[in-house]
Amino acid sequence: MSHRRLFLAIVSVLLLTASGVAANNTLTRRSRIGGDQKLVSPGDIFQLGLFPLADNTKWFLGIWFTVSPAAVIWVANRDRPLNASSSGIVTLTGAGDLVLLDAASNNETVWSSNSSSSAAAVALLDDSGNLVLTDDAGAMLWQSFDHPTNTYVSEMRIGKDVGTGAEWSLSSWRHADDPSAGDFRYVMETRGSPELHIWRKGRKTYRTGPWNGVRFSGIPEMATYKGMFEFQFADTADEVSYMYHACDGSPPSRVVLHQSGVIHRMVWDSAALRWSSFWSGPRDECDRYGVCGAFGVCNEVDAVVCSCVWGFLPRSSVEWGMRNASGGCARSTPLQCGGGAGDEDGFHAVRGVKLPETHGSSVDPGGSLEECGRRCLANCSCTAYAASDIRGSGGGGSGCIQWFGELVDTRFIDGGQDLFVRLAKSDLDTAPASPEPVKTKKFVAVITILIIGFGLLLLWLGFLIWKKVWRGKEATMIDDIMIGDCPTYHFETIRGATGGFCPENEIGRGGFGIVYKGQMQDGQEIAVKKLSTDNRVQGLKEFKNEVDLIARLQHRNLVRLLGCCIHCSDRILVYEYMSNKSLDNFIFGACLLTPS
């Protein structure tokens, strides 16, 4: 083979290899994967393959984040695990279905897409995490996004197809090692104003509140995601759905329905290499569905979380006294509805709430909030109204939601909406002059911080006062000594003169303490006697008397006391420095030198 042919052969192999790498997000009728083989999305954001659970005893076909393989977003055979990864084969059948076969059981079909009657030509995994089957013309026949498990990600819908009745909903795993459908479901409720609900075995446990044009009424945190997520809500004749779009540059994110029944929004923290929780619901006692019953309002920051809307009283004071408010509240005064002049019903504004459940309500996206109130007042069955879209001008919103029965699952919440509740004229006359305040955790947190800050300020002021008083006492003690003839020195002056009581300046030591040589700033040499702090026999009064006495004695054969210093437990005497040493050296030293 010539060099030219060898070169072309090598180039061909490299191109085929590169082509294979670039196309490893696709599966055709002539290919299959199994074991540890995977499909990888073009940007290496998601992977599809077999993964183990329950100590590698059960294997499933799924899709997960490349940065976090444990974050599985979709499972194909969630109810029929394989016993070993080596037996799993993923392929396209001649009929165009994507299937998972068990080679250990004569290629039994464990899972199938049951895509359509049209033969799929290719299965591909895209960078949104969606597994898509297309025909030869590129038309989509089936996608995993239409069959969520316990997670939805950017571009995935949660909702309902109005025409076919098909639902895009989440169902929790049974437990951490079992992805089969658990007890909880996260579904879109389309009756009334659409909202998302969590159900457990036919019983509602949590609701988000209705969509208000910007976010779900009960999730004000959604307003803080600007620049990271964009929300899209569709309410048309074809479908009612909700989805989010991750903005460019945003980190990986997912929303997971946990097996405990809590829905979590999580974002990948690339620095800490972990998932950070942005929001979860239900978040507290007040998010538990219907905890305060009909016409009750829940306030998490109160000692007793449940109260009745103004104009209503507990149906059972005994039950409420036992902290069981599920029976709700009843009107204290019947509505007049069409009564005589001056006796008409009216509306009381409950500020800052998650709107009540809208099942059985009517929604009109047109018109103003004022028109909504007039229409509600004209209908004797209308019990309350609110804006359906908070984007309206004037801050009050637009559109209209009208309730015609009991108001259930209402709570105070930070950034909540205004709810206008119908009351009899007599109840309106005694209603609070100002709207009910919004009591939230944020409000309480601010008050708590202010109280703590004020307390710390008082402690600081107390410390300063104590310090000033102590210094005053210290100064008084020094001033008492100055009553005699002995002046005082500042401790820093003495420390500076002795070089910080440097051992090299030590010229004497005994049971009384240590004597240091020092030099003042004016050049005067001094001898500093720092009395031992271990000697507690001599009290302050005795020390003062002794200093007074020495200061008064003046004799040419006695070293002169220049001053003193008291600093905390230190008691210091300052003498003039005798450069020729002490008198005893001359007396006793001279005797020793005299010949016998």
Query: Which residues are known binding-site members for ATP?
Result: 530
Full DSSP string of 289-333: TTTT-TTEEE-TTSSS-EEEPTTEEES-HHHHHTT--TT-EEESS
* Element counts in the chain: helices (H) and strands (E): 8, 39
Q: 42-48 — which CB contacts under 8 Å span 24+ positions?
A: 42/126, 42/127, 43/127, 45/127, 45/129, 45/252, 46/73, 46/125, 46/127, 46/128, 46/129, 47/125, 48/125, 48/131
Q: Answer whether 325's CB lies under 8 Å from 291's CB.
A: yes
Phi/psi at 96 (5° precision): 95, 15
Cα separation, 395 vs 456, in Å, equals 39
Written as one letter, the residue type at 241 is: S
Cα separation, 296 vs 8, in Å, equals 80
Q: Answer whether 320's CB lies under 8 Å from 279's CB.
A: no
Cα separation, 387 vs 370, in Å, equals 10
- Write out 407-452 in H/E/C secondary structure: CCCEEECCCCEEEEEEECHHHHHCCCCCCCCCCCHHHHHHHHHHHH
Binding-site members are: 530
Pull the structure tokens for residue 137: 């013309």
